[in-house]
């Protein structure tokens, strides 16, 4: 699922995703992505899991953006 979401949600290449996930080969990432895509098509639970993870990542990203946003007194 991590490979699939990294591929779908980022501009990272198969090589970059593989490196980030423990030095996996690009073909392993490609296989993992296609396998999850097939599973999502045939199993609504897997599709819902992917949606839930995307939502949590989006919430985390919004929270982090608020956390690192400079305040007026810190602006240069």
Q: Where are the domains of the chain?
A: 2-68
CA angle 48, 50, 59 (to 5 degrees): 105
Fold of 2-68: Chromosomal Replication Initiator Protein Dnaa; Chain: A; (1.10.1750)
- 42-71: pLDDT as tens digits: 999 999 999 999 999 999 888 887 777 666
CA distances from 35 to 7, 18, 69, 75 (A): 13, 15, 38, 47
The phi-psi region of residue 26 (left if phi > 0; otherwise alpha if psi is between -120 and 50; otherwise beta) is alpha
Angle, helices 26-42 vs 2-9, to 10°: value is 100
- 63 vs 70: CA distance, rounded Å: 14
- 8-48: pLDDT as tens digits: 999 999 999 999 999 999 999 999 999 999 999 999 999 99
What does pTM read for this prediction? Answer: 0.78
């Amino acid at each position: 699922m991590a490979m699939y979401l990294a591929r779908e949600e980022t501009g990272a290449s198969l090589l970059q995703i593989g490196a980030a996930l423990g030095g996996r080969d690009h073909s392993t990432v490609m296989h993992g992505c296609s396998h999850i895509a097939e599973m999502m098509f045939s199993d609504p639970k897997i599709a819902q899991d992917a949606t839930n993870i995307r939502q949590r990542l989006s919430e985390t990203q919004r929270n982090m953006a608020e956390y690192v946003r400079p305040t007026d007194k810190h602006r240069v």
